[in-house]
Structure formats: C-alpha cells, structure tokens
Amino acid sequence: MTGFLFGLGVGPGDPELITLKALKILERTPVIAYPAPEVGESMARVIAAPHIPAGRREIPIRIPMVPGKFPAHNIYDYYSKEIETCLEQDQDVAVLCEGDPFLYGSFMYLFSRLSDRFSAEVVPGVSSLGACAAVAGQPLVSRNQVLTVLPGPLSAEELESRIKASPAVAIMKVGRHLEKIRSVLKRLSILDYAQYIERATMTNQKVMPLSDVGMMEAPYFSMILVRHCEVETGV
C-alpha cells in the first residue's frame, strides 16, 4: 500500500473560501506540504492555518524567486523525493496551493513527477481570477466575449499584441512588471479601463483604477483586469 497525493486549492486568501472537500482532506491528512519563499511565510500555509490540526508533519517547499526554470526545477526534484518517501510509507500527503492548483499553481510540477507512480487527486480551489473579479465588482466576460489570461513576465511586444486581440484581459504575476504593463496599456489608450487588485479577499486587499497606482512594482499576489468592451445585457 502507498499513500495518496492530494493537490488542494486553498483559495485566494480568505480562509472561509476553502472548499468543503479541501477542508475534509486537510483535517485527515498526516503530512502537509506547501510552497514557500526562501525567507518568510508561505501564503498557502497562512490561508490554511485555521484549518490545520495540531501535530501534522509539515514540509515547506522553499522555492527561490529568481528568473529561469532551473533553480525551481531542482527544488521540485528534491522535494518530490521527500514526498515520495512519505507516500511509500503509506502516508497521505496534501500539497497546499494558493487559488487553484492547475492555474499557474506550483502543485502541477509535483503532480508531473509523482502521479504516474502514486494515486493523486487535484481538488480545485476558488481561483484568483474569480476572486479579483468579485472584489472589483467587474464581470470578467459575458455571453460570447473572449477572456485572455496573460502572465506579466511576457515581453511588452507580446503583451501588446495579445491585449489588442482580446476585449477582456486578466494579467497575473504582475510584481516587478507593473510599470511595463502600465506603459503598454497607456500606449494602447486603454489604461482607464484597467483595474488593479492586490491580495484579493484578504483583510489588506486593495482595489483601485490602475491609473491611480503610484508605485513602480506590485506584490506577487496582484492582478490587473482590463475590459475595454461593454457588458452584454440579456441572455
């Protein structure tokens, strides 16, 4: 017998947005793993903290936040071995993931390394996309409109071409790319249609027009929603 691997989406920030299914798995699983920065707290761990029973073994997956895939690639290789050892000892492992595990979620890299040898289940979570739209009071799309999801690290040229082609855009992974994104939207004359959302559903969330944001960089947990089309009425 071997243990079961779970990828738990813990939602965008508010602990009350964890799904009932994820909560039940969290309460019964002996090993909890989660991504974490090299220094500081894991946001996934902070979100799930009210629901983690005492005495659980915890595996913080310390990931260097640097450009390039190879440092992180090596980290996932290392921690997949540690999780593999737990699974081989018939211990279930729940890997926490902010938002949804398969929407830019780190769990996918462990899943690709382990799911061919161990039983695994992905438990969807409330995504940051839905959370940001909700707190901004801004529907993402309606009827047959197209939504494009873009990562902030794309080049300015690619961002511009893709934004031009879509009436509704969500830009994730804003971080240090904030000024580049703002410049692209200004060049396209749609800056006034952009909403900036930071730490959606958390107690310290911020929601404001992007044109009112004075800083040059943004936290990792931030998003820009751009909708330069009218909400279609009717059905």
Total of domains in the chain: 2
Nearest to 7 by CA among 82, 96, 80: 96
CATH value at residue 202: 3.30.950.10
234 is a domain residue: no
Q: Are 123 and 7 in contact (CB under 8 A)?
A: yes
pLDDT above 50 (res 131): yes
> Are 9 and 110 part of one and the same domain?
yes
Structure pTM? 0.90
> Are 49 and 148 part of one and the same domain?
no
> Are 111 and 193 part of one and the same domain?
no
pLDDT given at position 63: 86
- Assign 218 a pLDDT band (cuts: 50, 70, 90): very high
Question: Each residue of 196-211: pLDDT tens digit?
Answer: 999 999 999 999 999 9
> Are 118 and 159 part of one and the same domain?
no
> Are 70 and 112 part of one and the same domain?
yes
CATH value at residue 33: 3.40.1010.10
pLDDT above 50 (res 24): yes
Q: Which domain holds residue 84?
A: 5-123
Question: Each residue of 76-117: pLDDT tens digit?
Answer: 999 999 999 999 999 999 999 999 999 999 999 999 999 999
Q: Are 225 and 195 in contact (CB under 8 A)?
A: yes
- Assign 228 a pLDDT band (cuts: 50, 70, 90): confident
> Are 223 and 165 part of one and the same domain?
yes
- Assign 229 a pLDDT band (cuts: 50, 70, 90): low
Query: Among the three residues 123, 144, 164, which one is the final residue of a domain in this structure?
Result: 123
Task: Express as a percent the part of the chain with pLDDT over 90.
Answer: 84
Which whole number is the average pLDDT over 4-28? 97
Q: Residue holding tokens 């240090």?
A: 176
Query: Among the three residues 68, 94, 123, which one is the final residue of a domain in this structure?
Result: 123
Task: Express as a percent the part of the chain with pLDDT over 70.
Answer: 94
Instruction: Provide the mean pLDDT of the chain.
Output: 93
**Crossing angle between the packed helical segments 178-187 and 156-164, to the nearest 10 degrees:** 50
Question: Each residue of 45-76: pLDDT tens digit?
Answer: 999 999 999 999 999 999 876 655 556 788 99
> Are 195 and 216 part of one and the same domain?
yes
> Are 89 and 154 part of one and the same domain?
no
Q: What is the Cα–Cα distance from 223 to 221, expressed in whole angstroms? A: 7
pLDDT given at position 231: 46
pLDDT given at position 66: 62
